[in-house]
Amino acid sequence: MAEFAGLGSRPLLSMEGGVEHFDPGIHLLQLWANVCIIETGEGVVVFDPGFEFYGPRVVQELKALGSPPVRYIIYGHGHADHAFGAGAIREDAEARGQPRPMIVAHENLPHRFDRYREMLPYHEHINRIQFAIPDKLPAFARNYIYPDLTFSSALSFRLGGLTFELRHAQGETDDTCWLWIPERKTVCATDLWVWSCPNVGNPFKVQRYEVEWAEALETIAGLSPELLLPGHGPAIQGAEEIKRACTTVARALRHLHAEVVGMLNQGKWPEEILHRFTWPQEFADSPYLKPIYGHPYFIVQAILRRYHGWHDGNAAHLFPASSRAIAQEVLRLVGDPQKLLTRAQELAQAGQTQLALHLADFVLDSNDQEPRPALELKAQCLQALADREPSLIARNIFLAGVRQVQKALGKEARD
Ligand SMILES: [Zn+2]
């Protein structure tokens, strides 16, 4: 198995990263997201050109190969870290008097770009939290290069003696396309493979597709590839290893699907399902399923959202009172907020960090002044959760919470 180094180990905004070379003529440029370069006798295919700022780096790699003409640029899916690096490649081709590369993507990708353009401020906001991007830097893509050619379920073309078979799949996105090159027994998997528990249930993002993701991995395994180039992290080599990797993750996704759907069919409600679902030791121990980006709990949330409405089963929650009104009633009964805080501190010291946070929130929600001891306790609890959290997404949400509380503390201090 390739050395474990997935999404959690590479800085998002860095251009640092190595290149893995595979004979004959396959190159994996490993930055935060991977860029695949495939040489043929009649030019090059670039799969997943990456972030916009990767473009010059891709051109640099192409120069090292003698600047062969780039004939096709394929977007594996429309996320900002995969489908925005085409501009520099096209400009370089133009400067060299080479033909303009054709950009190919799944037919849903232009709709994604349209949505991103409509909701740029929202995506700026959530990606700044998800990836801990500093305020002074843009947090989302702005320059959209739409594909020249789109397809629905599959598209094949030949170039320089190689066959490029593009297949659509739903997985992390509804516009995913993965690539199979039969003559090289090679798959470019984009984010169907990221060396992490699959990012099915991202807390900020639109619906993702657990069963279809499993199907795609099973289809890939069925082709017996010898080389799998992932969307993030190092390549996987060898048919046996690739099969084991893909089928393990597929089984894990099918397991969570069966757990949630099974409990829904028994009449269980989301809260019970979220506390009762199982994650077998085999998956917890698997190097393919480390919760360093996605998380099994997030996957369960996504499956619930997909098949279940938003009612949680308690009729008292259908039109709930505000957190503030509830907290004020609780505080009225308790009398002294310090009582709640003392108990919250006891819980925090006993390692019951989550419960401690809920109690601190009663104090904060009930009082516009946001008492300083409650803020301090909240910051301390969120920091403790961040410190032991392996998932980059979850950790960054906790840290954003710490920053928010610190801001409130600073404001209070200035006042
Ligand atoms: Zn990605």
pLDDT of 379 over the 80 cut: yes
Q: Where are the alpha helices (DSSP H) in 295-390?
A: 296-307, 323-334, 337-349, 353-366, 372-387
pTM over 0.85: yes
Q: In the chain, which segments carry CATH 1.25.40.880? A: 318-414
Beta bridge partners of 28: 20, 36
Residue 14 is predicted with a pLDDT of 66
pLDDT of 255 over the 50 cut: yes
The mean pLDDT of the chain is: 94
Question: What does the angle CA 186 – CA 187 – CA 192 come to, to the nearest 5 degrees?
Answer: 160
CATH match for 7-253 among 3.60.15.30, 3.30.565.10, 3.40.50.2000, 1.10.760.10? 3.60.15.30
pLDDT tens, residue by residue, 386-409: 999 999 999 999 999 999 999 999
Residue 329 is predicted with a pLDDT of 97
HEC string of 373-409 equals HHHHHHHHHHHHHHHCCCCHHHHHHHHHHHHHHHHHH
Tell me, in angstroms, the distance from the centre of ligand 1 to residue 290's CA: 16
Residue 390 is predicted with a pLDDT of 94
Tell me, in angstroms, the distance from the centre of ligand 1 to residue 80's CA: 8
For residues 330-356, give the mean pLDDT: 96
Tell me, in angstroms, the distance from the centre of ligand 1 to residue 177's CA: 13
CATH code of the region 318-414: 1.25.40.880
pLDDT tens, residue by residue, 56-68: 999 999 999 999 9
In the chain, what percentage of residues exceed pLDDT 90? 91
pLDDT of 413 over the 50 cut: no
Residue 154 is predicted with a pLDDT of 98
Measuring CA to CA, which residue among 40, 59, 39 is closest to residue 49?
A: 59
Residue 23 is predicted with a pLDDT of 87
For residues 346-350, give the mean pLDDT: 97
Tell me, in angstroms, the distance from the centre of ligand 1 to residue 231's CA: 6
In the chain, what percentage of residues exceed pLDDT 70? 95
Q: In the chain, which segments carry CATH 3.60.15.30? A: 7-253
Tell me, in angstroms, the distance from the centre of ligand 1 to residue 334's CA: 48
Residue 17 is predicted with a pLDDT of 75
Residue 9 is predicted with a pLDDT of 62
pLDDT of 11 over the 90 cut: no
